[in-house]
Amino acid sequence: AQGSTLDRDSTTLSRHVLQQLQSFGPDAQDLSALMNRIALAGKLIARRLTRAGLVEDALGFTGRTNVQGESVKKMDIYANDVFISVFKQSGLVCRLASEEMDEPYYIPENCPLGRYTLLYDPIDGSSNVDINLNVGSIFAIRQQQGSDLDQTASDLLSSGRDQIAAGYILYGPSTVLVYSIGHGVHAFTLDPSLGEFILASENIQIPAHGPNYSVNEGNFWQWEESLRDYIRYVHRHEGYSARYSGALVGDFHRILMQGGVFLYPGSVKKPEGKLRVLYESAPLAFLAEQAGGRASTGTQDILDVVPDKLHARSPLVIGSTEDVSLVESFIKEG
């Protein structure tokens, strides 16, 4: 028994990525280095969050608003800078694009040779930070297309099928990193005493149907009638559980592990909804499909959406295949 515990503890994230890549791909060294850097970012952010109530300048707002007009929190900026900092001198990433930056950030010493772009939401669900509830970071890796010498980053406006890796870090009671490089979805738990992410579940499959439905029903009267009909359907049928934390990563993690559906639909006034395609919806859609689930705008697969700008939004319906299809069937009829 001791042997198997040791074997499990020895399956670290970096070993896992290397094993995957030995069997599946040529860019092994690069992707393994990228994942190690992302893991380091996760550890740094987790450490800061754990102490947020104790250290000065960790909680509350900066007084600034971001490109989307949202108030920026100190933790948003800290986490945004962590990702930039861990990729400096990596030689791999020339550009980073995030929710907190109007334009992509170029790391001059990595350009133009750095072949990858990191897209990320440094702290997703940041309204949870000040009340000590779970938040997450979302990331996607894309291969840079062309030289982008004029720094327009126009090659990023392409579909989610161009992602080569995606994942998230969930800062909950424990810190969990979930990733896919296109060969299944795997979850790791941070062992703080080792400072390593240790394999927790391999090849996760979303059940075809699940009990959870996760949506901000406070928006009920702002939705199209067809969507309200779906909610009415849920209310009239047994077996559903409402679960909504206000942090997408946590809500999606529940759906990934237990099945069901998460929705952030458009409203009559904001048909695009709230969530951003490139660094929120598309990375999670990549994971959902890799886990045998689905992600849709309601009328189209999220991975087929081609954003028209860096911070473009789209409605999101994600989770178990049967539950996503049910939502789509209401939208189609409406």
328 binds ligand AHM (CB under 6 A): no
Give 279's DSSP letter.
I
Residue 153 makes CB contacts below 8 A (sequence gap 6+) with 95, 97, 103, 104, 117, 310
Nearer to ligand AHM (CB atom), residue 125 or residue 293: 125
How far is residue 118's CA from residue 135's CA, in Å, rounded to a whole number? 20
Confirm or deny that 100 is annotated as ligand binding.
no
DSSP alpha helix (H) spans, the chain: 2-10, 13-24, 28-50, 74-87, 225-236, 248-258, 282-290, 321-333
How far is residue 333's CA from residue 64's CA, in Å, rounded to a whole number? 43
Nearer to ligand AHM (CB atom), residue 38 or residue 248: 248
Give SS3 for 150. coil
100 binds ligand AHM (CB under 6 A): no
Least CB distance from residue 2 to ligand AHM, whole Å? Answer: 41
For the chain, the first-to-last Cα distance in angstroms comes to 57
For the segment 266-285, give every residue that binds ligand AHM (CB under 6 A): 274
- The interface partner of residue 98, options being ligand AHM, Mg ion, none and the CB cut-off 5 to 8 Å by kind, is none
Nearer to ligand AHM (CB atom), residue 75 or residue 93: 75
For the segment 10-69, give every residue that binds ligand AHM (CB under 6 A): none
List the one residue out of 312, 330, 329 whose CA is nearest residue 99.
312
Nearer to ligand AHM (CB atom), residue 30 or residue 121: 121
- Return the range that interacts with ligand AHM (CB under 6 A); candidates 44-52, 120-128, 169-177, 182-190: 120-128
Nearer to ligand AHM (CB atom), residue 203 or residue 216: 216
Give SS3 for 144. coil
Question: How many residues are recorded in the chain?
Answer: 334
Nearer to Mg ion (CB atom), residue 83 or residue 330: 83
124 binds ligand AHM (CB under 6 A): yes
99 binds ligand AHM (CB under 6 A): yes
Place of tokens 């049928």: 237
Confirm or deny that 125 is annotated as ligand binding.
yes
Q: Are 156 and 270 spatial neighbours (Cβ–Cβ below 8 Å)?
A: no
Confirm or deny that 244 is annotated as ligand binding.
yes
Q: Hey, what are 319's tokens?
A: 């989770």
169 binds ligand AHM (CB under 6 A): no
Residue ranges for the known binding site for Mg(2+) are 99, 121, 123-124, 280
Q: Which residues bind ligand AHM (CB under 6 A)?
A: 70, 99, 121, 124-126, 216, 246-248, 264, 274
Residue ranges for the known binding site for substrate are 124-127, 216, 244, 274
